[in-house]
Amino acid sequence: MKKRYAAQLSAVLLSIALMMGCTDAGTTAHSAANDTTGAADTIAADAASLEIPEQAAFDEEELAADWQAETAATIALDGASAAVEGEGVTAASGTVTITKAGTYVLSGKLDGQVVVDVAKEDKVRLVLNGAEITNASGPAVDVKEADKVIVTLAEGTRNVITDGEAYADTSEDAPNAAFYSKADLAVNGQGTLIVNGNYNDGLASKDDLKIVEGTIEVHAADDGLLGRDLVAVKGGTLTIEAGGDGIKTTNEEEAGKGNVVIAGGSFAIKAGSDGVQSAVSVRIDGGSFDIVSGGGSANGEAHAEQRPMWGMRPGAAPEQAGAAAEAAAAEQGAETTGDTPSRKGLKAAAVLAVYGGTLAIDAADDALHSNGSVLVQAGELKLSSGDDGIHADMSVIVEGGKIDILKSYEGIEGSVVTIADGELNIVADDDGINVAGGNDGSAAQGGPGDRFAASGSYLLAIKGGNMTVNAAGDGLDSNGAIEMSGGHVLVYGPTMNGNGALDYDGTFNITGGFLAAAGSAGMAAAPSDASRQYSLLMTYPEVQAAGTTVVLKDSEGRAVATVTPPKAYQTIVISSPDLKQGAAYTLYTGDTKIVDFEIASAVTWLNESGVTAAGSGGRGMGGGMRPGRGDRPMSGSPQGDGMMPGGAPQSGQ
């Protein structure tokens, strides 16, 4: 990450830590709620103030695809030669060289190279009017010097640019793309451009690369589209097959550069590495995306069991714990050493912002990833991941849109996760939402590290929206606090006892919204006693079958909550603004009346006999602790044995 971004992001975390560090365990519900909500507001404001690029501006000359034939030079390509009419261009020995600003119309086939070498303040327009250019020993088009080159694809034409698998010049600064430009490069027009980058990259600019329109098909041994300073797309239909990254920027040194900005267009990207990778930030305002990276989620790395302490005697040395973790990873087939290429869908070093568009991403690693923050304000996202659906080293902020995480190891992961609005459906093999520290140290990398270190700066803030979580591990997991002030949240948590539908290491203050969380009993937890909205946690004597409906009714028979978990469960948490102190309620399972009770405190703990005592520390059975965090294993389930109390096997595993 660039130092300037690292400094900003570190300052954000420090400010949150200072804010939350001022709140001790005895703080009232009102103060705790205000502090954590304030922290969420702070991180949201700071993330939004990071250098998210503006929508890219396109000059009039970049947008204009018309040209005047009477004032243009024409270049008729024919094998290793070319017939030229007009000034500023020469042709010799298979090389066509343009040396003057102007418009040049190319047609026919060339076995050789087109070179643009004009004054650095000059602009050149290349009109591809049915041109096929092939160079077996270097780039087919090489822009050595210019202020800007505009490529216009003549309407209805098919144009092909192809290089060879080996270049004559392989020095460090030599061209390495089929269409290579040291100047700004823009593509417009209603024709078709096919780029075959057999040596390395396909269409590359050492400055800005802008796509206005057209049908563009790129096949590249390494990166498909590359702009050092900027890649901006306004429209068009782009099909990219790349051994490396589909779209990429590389300038991480100069402020305001190194961004990917997409306003529209249709994208079909199949990349061996990242679908889109930015040296700084990615901004998506519209467009349709179908991205497969690293072979897709089915090709994700095996995940080591997150049980670094199991199988070890108490007091084992850290290096022994590391060896145990490595052995566990080996059992799962995961590599613990060596370089693994990045295989993410969309990846940014600072900020990844989605303001619209339709995105279908199938990634071997994270579907959306930022070393800084991820912001989603609108759009439709369907994400499948071999690791995290959405991952940010710092903050994840969802303010709108429809997000379906169809497959993931962990659905959403970040140091601070704020859900303010939108519709989210999350399916996860481990945690649905995981609030934890460290860079992308998700389970594919293994290891206890700071991933399991509780911190006052970690926060899950739910302020609005509609969210459904279906998790085999913890449903909502925060290594710090959880704060819920609005929204509608359904959590279908684990069936094994080593995880819980709710898991937090600080406090869970709920002041608004509707929450229902069903899961196993071994790690069951409820919101904190200091919450200003009332909650209940029901523990059943036996496992309830998947599809068994829970109905909570008030004294007049009106349904306060109706929940039908699609998985087996033994506990359920319900919190609603309709729950009132001193009021009487009845809980039904299916058509069977289970228990009558009254709300007497912030959290009411229930079993089939009625109100019972809370677990120690304001938690349910198991106190929210689990092996692998330095805590003693649960009695009767020392290693997450995959069984619920009563010996019933789990379903849904």
Higher-pLDDT residue of 597 and 1 is 597
Q: How confident is the model at residue 614 (pLDDT cuts 50, 70, 90)?
A: confident
pLDDT, tens only, 312-340: 333 333 333 333 334 433 333 333 334 67
Buried b (16+ CB within 10 A) or exposed e, 9-46: beebbeebbebbeebeeebebeebbbbbbebbebbbeb
Average pLDDT over residues 296-306: 80
pLDDT, tens only, 434-456: 999 656 544 333 333 333 344 56
The CA-atom distances, in angstroms, between 518 and each of 26, 35, 465, 472, 496 are: 29, 28, 19, 12, 12
pLDDT of residue 437: 67
Q: Which of 111-120, 443-452, 482-491, 504-513 has the lowest mean pLDDT?
A: 443-452
Give the span between the Cα atoms of 128 and 145, in whole angstroms: 19
Kindly state the DSSP code that residue 326 receives in the 8-state scheme: H
What is the pLDDT of the chain when averaged over all its residues?
A: 84
Non-local CB neighbours of 337 within 8 Å, separated by 6+ positions: none
Q: Which of 89-103, 246-260, 306-320 has the lowest mean pLDDT?
A: 306-320
Q: Which of 71-85, 319-333, 609-623, 632-646 has the lowest mean pLDDT?
A: 632-646
By C-alpha distance, which of 448, 454, 565 is closest to 504?
454
By C-alpha distance, which of 331, 329, 377, 333 is closest to 351?
377
- Is residue 201 within 8 A of residue 246, CB to CB? The reply is no
The pLDDT of residue 640 is above 50:
no
The pLDDT of residue 347 is above 60:
yes
Average pLDDT over residues 114-127: 98
The CA-atom distances, in angstroms, between 399 and each of 38, 39, 418, 432, 581 are: 16, 16, 8, 18, 32
pLDDT of residue 487: 98
Average pLDDT over residues 505-525: 97
- Is residue 426 within 8 A of residue 460, CB to CB? The reply is no
Q: Which of 38-42, 290-294, 623-627 has the lowest mean pLDDT?
A: 623-627
The pLDDT of residue 56 is above 80:
yes
pLDDT of residue 643: 36
Give the span between the Cα atoms of 337 and 331, in whole angstroms: 14
pLDDT of residue 419: 97
pLDDT of residue 429: 97
The pLDDT of residue 15 is above 70:
no
Q: Which of 51-55, 63-67, 290-294, 491-495 has the lowest mean pLDDT?
A: 51-55
- DSSP assignment of 377-442 equals -S-EEEEEESSEEEEESSEEEEEEEEEEEEE-SEEEEESEEEEEEEEEEEEESS-SEEE--SSS--
End-to-end Cα separation, the chain, in angstroms: 38
The pLDDT of residue 353 is above 80:
yes
Average pLDDT over residues 9-13: 40
Average pLDDT over residues 363-388: 97
- DSSP assignment of 33-88 equals HHHHHHHHHHHHHHHHHS-PPPPPP--HHHH-----GGGSEEEEEEETEEEEESSS
Give the span between the Cα atoms of 378 and 287, in whole angstroms: 12
| Tokens read off for 462 | 């739910």
pLDDT of residue 457: 85
The pLDDT of residue 196 is above 80:
yes
pLDDT of residue 8: 38
Dihedral angle at the C-alpha atoms of 209, 210, 211, 216, nearest 10 degrees?
Answer: -10
pLDDT, tens only, 457-477: 899 999 999 999 999 999 999
* Inter-residue long-range contacts of 444-450, CB under 8 Å, 24+ positions, other chains counted: 444/300, 444/301, 444/303, 444/334, 444/365, 444/386, 444/387, 444/409, 446/303, 446/304, 446/325, 446/326, 446/328, 446/329, 446/334, 446/336, 447/308, 447/322, 447/325, 448/308, 448/309, 448/321, 448/325, 448/628
Non-local CB neighbours of 536 within 8 Å, separated by 6+ positions: 526, 552, 573, 574, 575, 579, 587, 597, 599, 603, 604, 605, 606
